[in-house]
């Protein structure tokens, strides 16, 4: 009887160790996707901003609205089609999204100095890393904050739409502050959610798609933290 208990305990310990190793590999895959997406976005943004012909063709015409709204269309596409996509299609859509986002974000190089962009990027990266690490390691249940954070995102989108017509600097300041706070909180919440969802993965295909979707969630959090911080602290040209 004692020997059977030892065998069961050893089997449980091995199973837990295998699960932890699989979770770490899954999270590393997500962070690699996310970092590669950010890198691709940065390269595309810099290339577009450094090419006067592209700047004029995109930002000097109504075409700019297409690239400004295209990332949102990609997010909706992912949200409604992720279950029906293959892993390869999800990856291709993710890279296309990161590239389109780069075109959309090229305008920051036309508005802010390179030094302030670099400084804000590293600050945003430090904030993102700290909050993602907290979400991964904390024992507290962050799921109860999810609904409030999502409502906050919706509120920010509405406020930004209103401010397109109002043009209030005070409202823009409030939006930027709330944006940093909300997306910083979402970073921790999404990280814990991704970690929790790993336990329900069914097969390699599902895990591969969840890695892409998880990377997209963290990518969006990081990019929004960066953009809202830049609005707050960036030095304009």
Between CA 141 and CA 96 the distance in angstroms is: 34
Tell me, what's the pLDDT at 7?
44
Identify the burial level of 171 via C-beta atoms within 10 angstroms of its C-beta, where 0-12 means exposed, 13-18 middle and 19 or more buried.
middle
Q: Per-10-residue mean pLDDT for the chain, 237 residues long? A: 50 60 86 95 93 86 76 74 78 90 90 91 95 93 88 89 83 90 95 84 71 92 94 82
Per domain, the residue ranges of the chain are 2-233
**Cα–Cα distance list, 197 to 23, 108, 192 (Å):** 10, 35, 9
Between CA 28 and CA 180 the distance in angstroms is: 25
Tell me, what's the pLDDT at 63?
76
Between CA 94 and CA 99 the distance in angstroms is: 9
Give the distance, in angstroms, between the CA of residue 94 and the centroid of all CA atoms in the same chain: 11
Residue located via tokens 């930002």: 59
Between CA 36 and CA 99 the distance in angstroms is: 11
Between CA 220 and CA 46 the distance in angstroms is: 19
pTM: 0.86
């Amino acid at each position: 009887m004692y020997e059977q208990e030892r065998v069961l305990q050893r089997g449980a310990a091995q199973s837990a160790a295998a699960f932890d190793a699989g979770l770490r590999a899954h999270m590393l895959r997500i962070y690699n996707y996310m970092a590669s997406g950010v890198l691709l976005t940065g390269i595309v943004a810099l290339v577009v901003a450094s090419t006067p012909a592209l700047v004029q063709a995109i930002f000097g015409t109504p075409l700019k609205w297409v690239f400004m709204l295209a990332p949102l269309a990609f997010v909706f596409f992912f949200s409604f089609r992720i279950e029906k996509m293959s892993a390869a299609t999800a990856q291709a859509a993710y890279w296309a999204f990161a590239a389109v986002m780069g075109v959309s974000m090229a305008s920051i190089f036309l508005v802010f100095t390179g030094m302030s962009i670099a400084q804000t990027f590293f600050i945003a990266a430090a904030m993102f890393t700290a909050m993602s690490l907290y979400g991964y390691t904390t024992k507290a249940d962050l799921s109860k904050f999810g609904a409030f954070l999502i409502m906050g995102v919706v509120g920010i989108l509405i406020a930004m739409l209103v401010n397109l017509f109002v043009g209030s600097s005070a409202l823009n300041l409030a939006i930027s502050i709330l944006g940093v706070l909300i997306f910083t909180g979402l970073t921790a919440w999404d990280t814990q959610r991704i970690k929790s969802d790993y336990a329900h993965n069914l097969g390699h295909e599902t895990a591969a798609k969840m890695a892409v979707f998880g990377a997209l969630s963290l990518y969006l959090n990081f990019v929004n933290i960066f953009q809202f911080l830049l609005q707050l602290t960036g030095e304009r040209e």
